[in-house]
Amino acid sequence: MDDNGWNASASAWIADMGEHGDFGRRFVLDPVMLPLALARTPRTVLDVGCGEGRFCRMLAAHGVAAIGLDPTTALIATARERDPSGRYIEGKAESLPFEDAPFDLVISYLSLIDITDYAAGIAEMARVLKPGGALLVANLNGFNTAGAESGWIRDLTGALRCYPVDHYLVERGFWTEWRGIRIVNHHRPLQAYMQAFLAQGLRLSHFSEPAPIEGAPEPKAERYRRAPWFLVMEWLKP
C-alpha cells in the first residue's frame, strides 16, 4: 500500500534528481555532508533512505563503499541499475535488517522527514552503529517544515515577502507537492529530534544550518539564505 506517496512519485523523483541531485543537495548539503562523511575514513557505511543511490555513488567515487537502504522498490531498482557493483537493500529504517553494531558510519540524508516513527528509526540507526561510530544527519529545518504547508508569502507584485512559521511545536504530517512529486513529509520541532538522539546515549559533535555555497545560482540561492532550510548534525556513539 502506498500511503505516503513515494511509490507513485518514484519516477518523477528519479527524473528530478538526475545524476547530481537538486539545488539543495548540490549547493547546500553536499558541500557539508560529503566532507563530514569522508573525514571519518569509514570502512562500513549504511545510507538509510538512500533513494536512487546518489549519495552512495558519491561516496563510492571517493573509495567508500556504502550499503544503501530504502523502502521504495522503484528507487532501489534504479540504485542497483546505476551502481551494479553497489549493495542496495529494500527495507525500513524502523527495522533495519542488520545485527548490532556493524557500521562505522550511518547516514540519514533527508530521510527523517519521511519516517513516521522517527524515534524508532533513530533507535535503529544507533543500534547498528559501532561504539565510536557516527550518525550523520541532514534534515529539513523545523522552521522550514513549520511553514511548508502555506509556503512563501508574496506581496501584491508577486515578490517574496516572508516565510511563515506557525504551530512550530505541533508534530504533524502533511502532503507536499512539486514537479510531479507528491509525498508526505513530517514536521517536528528540533527538540523532538534532539530528545530522540539523546535517548540513545549519542553525543552531538557537529551542528550547522548551512547556507548555499559561493557561486550557487541566483535568485534561488537567496531563498535559502533568507530562511533556514536545512540542518546538519553528527552524533557519536560512545
Note the pLDDT tens digit of each residue in 154-174.
999 999 999 999 999 999 999
Q: Are 109 and 135 in contact (CB under 8 A)?
A: no
Which of 37, 53, 137, 126 lies closest to 88 in space, CA to CA? Answer: 53
Residues contacting 183, CB < 8 A, separation 6+: 4, 5, 6, 9, 114, 175, 176, 177
Q: What is the 8-class DSSP label of residue 93?
A: G
Q: In the chain, where do the E strands start and end?
A: 45-48, 66-70, 87-90, 103-109, 129-140, 153-154, 160-162, 172-178, 181-187, 203-208, 230-236
* Threshold 0.85, pTM exceeds: yes
Residue 190 has pLDDT above 50, yes or no: yes
Q: CA-CA distance, 125 to 101, in Å (whole number)?
A: 9
* Residue 94 CA, distance from chain mean position: 15
Mean pLDDT across 135-145:
97
pLDDT value, residue 9 = 96
Return the percentage of the chain with pLDDT > 70, whole number. 99
Residues contacting 47, CB < 8 A, separation 6+: 55, 56, 59, 66, 67, 68, 69, 107, 109
Residue pLDDT, tens place only, 93-126? 999 999 999 999 999 999 999 999 999 999 999 9
Residue 2 has pLDDT above 70, yes or no: no
Instruction: State the average pLDDT for the chain.
Output: 96
Dmax over CA atoms of the chain, in Å, equals 57
Strand 181-187 with 172-178, pairing? antiparallel
Residue pLDDT, tens place only, 176-187? 999 999 999 999
